[in-house]
């Protein structure tokens, strides 16, 4: 008899015995004037209490709902196994190479599943609540190696590797401050919507839906049309699809098979509790992630992994200001935040109004809205006076304006290239310091901020997991991220003789402004 079945039987018998004992005790204590005892729910010291669903009204602390269940699995893996529905394909010969690879890569499972611990419970909850196969919780293993900062040369980003157009199609916000594709909550919701759409589009065939998730429904539809015309079957295994897609679906099936029976494949899965890892926290104002980590007594790197959607390491000026925190840090964070003055929540820089300044131009340069500037400075209208000091919402990675060594006023005949050459800086640096589009012409008398020669612009980098695509080369990847080939080789312990393979994972350290 399986262990989980015996556990269920024992739980049911215990409940029945408890009910019988409770009935005896109630019979002993019943009297005409007896007052019914109030049921008190207590939290077990060894497990976190079940979390409540977020309120529609913004509050400081919310969390997602944990459905009540008689049988609660000890770890997340057994819960995933119980929700698998694609086992009929686990012995298909088409997945044999992938099964063999995963079965011989314990270190890969250690590394990837270690990252997955932060997100797995939440993703399983969302899939299970919609009645979807729990194999899909393993899809980010294939897509991103469970790294929210993973980025590809096709501009796909995040755990679920959305390209910009598909992300926009499924409601993922993306601007200078925030990229919903990297947000574990927003991206998971979008991925589930997309997978549900594809499942229905392809007549409830999960393999075709997964293939379309990788290469687009148009490619799958055309491949099916070609097969129908040739009198061939139109199942996944019979279609002529891109090489990456033909390996992509077997990869998910292979990972799922290993998770189902790890011992048979000589793989040890790390223990991951079947319990929430993080709380979803709503904050009423802009908050710097470094400050949040300090208040929560938490490592900054862990906080950034949970809140990868914020490109400037600070919540969006216009909100919402939701952040994710490990569940055992939320209480201390709450106490610390409530005792911290709001003006200390995020860095605020100042702009001193000069002749010719307008509120709209200042807002544009600082990537905020006019309404946000009005609100921050309690302005009743857009009129400014020379010398007036305006508070600009903190960006988390901006260098304060006082840090610039000097200004330069654009003259007749100037170009970005000429100014950069004369001041011994690169065009990219000059454009970045002034939030300029390199392709747009400069305006006469426009004021630019410059660093002196040899003075470095402070930058913040993020570790990115990049999945090599077909046709990639070190040169192409270096160009894409404005990196040197030597750095890429050094970070990955490679040399120039190494040949890149599709699906290979590279570690890159990329300026956050370039992601």
At residue 474, the pLDDT reads: 85
Query: Per the CATH hierarchy, to which homologous superfamily does domain 349-450 belong?
Result: LysM domain (3.10.350.10)
The b-or-e profile of 305-325 (16+ CB within 10 A means b, else e) is bbbbbbbbbbbbbbeebbbbb
Distances (CA, A) of 368 to 9, 325, 375: 59, 26, 11
pTM metric for this prediction: 0.64
Helices of type H across 389-491: 416-422, 427-433, 474-481, 485-491
Long-range contacts made by residues 207-210, C-beta under 8 angstroms, separation at least 24?
207/86, 207/89, 207/235, 207/236, 207/237, 207/249, 208/235, 208/236, 210/139, 210/248, 210/249, 210/252
Q: Of the candidates 322, 278, 337, which has an alpha carbon nearest to the alpha carbon of residue 302?
A: 278
Q: Are 304 and 263 in contact (CB under 8 A)?
A: no
Distances (CA, A) of 304 to 292, 318, 348, 359: 10, 20, 20, 32
Q: Of the candidates 176, 95, 168, 183, which has an alpha carbon nearest to the alpha carbon of residue 393?
A: 176
Beta strand pairing call for 447-450 and 461-467: unpaired
The second-level CATH assignment, the architecture, of 461-514 is: Roll (3.10)
Q: Is 143 a catalytic residue?
A: yes
DSSP code of residue 413? T
Q: Do domains 349-450 and 461-514 have the same CATH topology?
A: yes
Helices and strands of the chain, counted as H and E runs: 20, 9
Give the pLDDT of the chain (515 residues) as one tens digit per residue: 444 444 444 444 444 444 444 443 443 343 333 333 322 222 222 223 323 333 333 333 333 344 444 345 679 999 999 999 999 999 999 999 999 999 999 999 999 999 999 999 999 999 999 999 999 999 999 999 999 988 876 788 999 999 988 999 999 998 878 899 999 999 999 999 999 999 999 999 999 999 999 999 999 999 999 999 999 999 999 999 999 999 999 999 999 999 999 999 999 999 999 999 999 999 998 899 989 999 999 998 899 999 999 987 889 888 888 999 999 999 999 999 999 998 888 877 778 888 888 888 888 877 777 887 888 788 888 888 888 888 777 654 443 323 334 557 788 888 888 888 877 777 877 776 666 777 778 888 776 766 543 333 334 456 778 888 888 888 788 777 767 787 888 888 888 778 888 888 898 887 544 44
Distances (CA, A) of 54 to 58, 61, 130: 9, 8, 18
CA–CA gap between residue 432 and residue 426 (Å, rounded): 10
CA–CA gap between residue 465 and residue 468 (Å, rounded): 10
CA–CA gap between residue 49 and residue 276 (Å, rounded): 10
- The residue extents of the domains of the chain are 67-265, 349-450, 461-514
CA–CA gap between residue 515 and residue 254 (Å, rounded): 31
The second-level CATH assignment, the architecture, of 67-265 is: Orthogonal Bundle (1.10)
Q: Which of 143, 217, 343, 455 is catalytic?
A: 143
Residue 400 has, within 13 A of its CA and on its CB side, a CA count of 8
CA–CA gap between residue 188 and residue 32 (Å, rounded): 56
């Amino acid at each position: 008899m399986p262990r989980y079945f015996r556990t269920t039987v024992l739980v049911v018998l215990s409940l029945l015995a408890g009910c019988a004992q409770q009935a005896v005790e109630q019979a002993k204590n019943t009297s005409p004037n007896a007052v019914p005892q109030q049921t008190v729910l207590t939290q077990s010291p060894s497990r976190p209490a079940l979390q409540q669903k977020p309120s529609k009204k913004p509050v400081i602390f919310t969390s997602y709902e944990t459905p009540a269940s008689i049988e609660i699995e000890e770890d997340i893996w057994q819960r995933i196994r119980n929700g698998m529905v694609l086992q009929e394909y686990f012995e298909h010969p088409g997945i044999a190479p992938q099964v063999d690879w995963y079965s011989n890569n314990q270190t890969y499972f250690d590394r990837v599943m270690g990252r997955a611990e932060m997100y797995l419970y939440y993703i399983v909850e969302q899939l299970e609540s919609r009645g979807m196969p729990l194999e899909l919780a393993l899809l980010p293993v294939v897509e991103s190696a469970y790294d929210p900062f993973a980025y590809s040369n096709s501009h796909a980003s995040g755990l679920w590797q959305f390209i910009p157009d598909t992300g926009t199609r499924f409601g993922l916000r993306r601007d200078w401050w925030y990229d919903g594709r990297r947000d574990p909550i927003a991206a998971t919701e979008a991925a589930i919507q997309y997978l549900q759409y594809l499942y229905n589009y392809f007549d409830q065939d999960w393999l075709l839906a997964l293939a379309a998730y990788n290469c687009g429904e148009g490619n799958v539809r055309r491949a099916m049309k070609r097969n129908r015309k040739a009198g061939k079957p139109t199942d996944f295994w019979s279609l002529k699809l891109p090489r990456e897609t033909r390996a992509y679906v077997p990869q998910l099936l292979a990972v799922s098979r290993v998770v189902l029976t790890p011992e048979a494949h000589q793989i040890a899965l790390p223990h991951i509790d079947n319990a929430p890892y993080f709380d979803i926290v709503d904050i009423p104002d802009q908050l710097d992630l470094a400050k949040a980590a300090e208040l929560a007594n938490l490592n900054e790197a862990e906080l950034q992994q949970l809140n990868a959607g914020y490109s400037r390491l600070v919540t969006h000026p216009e909100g919402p200001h939701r952040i994710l925190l490990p569940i055992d840090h939320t209480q201390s964070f709450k106490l610390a935040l409530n005792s911290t003055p709001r003006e200390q929540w995020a860095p605020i820089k100042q702009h001193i109004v000069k002749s010719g300044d307008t509120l709209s131009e200042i807002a544009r340069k600082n990537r905020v809205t006019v309404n946000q500037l009005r609100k921050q400075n309690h302005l009743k209208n857009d009129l400014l006076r020379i010398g007036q000091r305006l508070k600009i919402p903190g960006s988390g990675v901006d260098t304060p304006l006082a840090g610039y060594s000097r200004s330069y006023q654009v003259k007749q005949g100037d170009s970005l290239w000429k100014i950069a050459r004369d001041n011994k800086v690169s065009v990219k640096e000059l454009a970045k310091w002034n939030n300029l589009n390199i392709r747009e012409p400069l305006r006469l008398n426009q004021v630019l901020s410059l660093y002196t020669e040899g003075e470095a612009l402070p930058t913040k980098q993020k570790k990115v997991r990049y999945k090599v695509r077909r046709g990639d080369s070190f040169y192409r990847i270096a160009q894409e991220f404005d990196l040197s080939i030597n750095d890429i080789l050094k970070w990955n312990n490679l040399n120039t003789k190494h040949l890149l393979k599709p699906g290979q994972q590279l570690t890159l350290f990329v300026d956050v402004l370039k992601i």
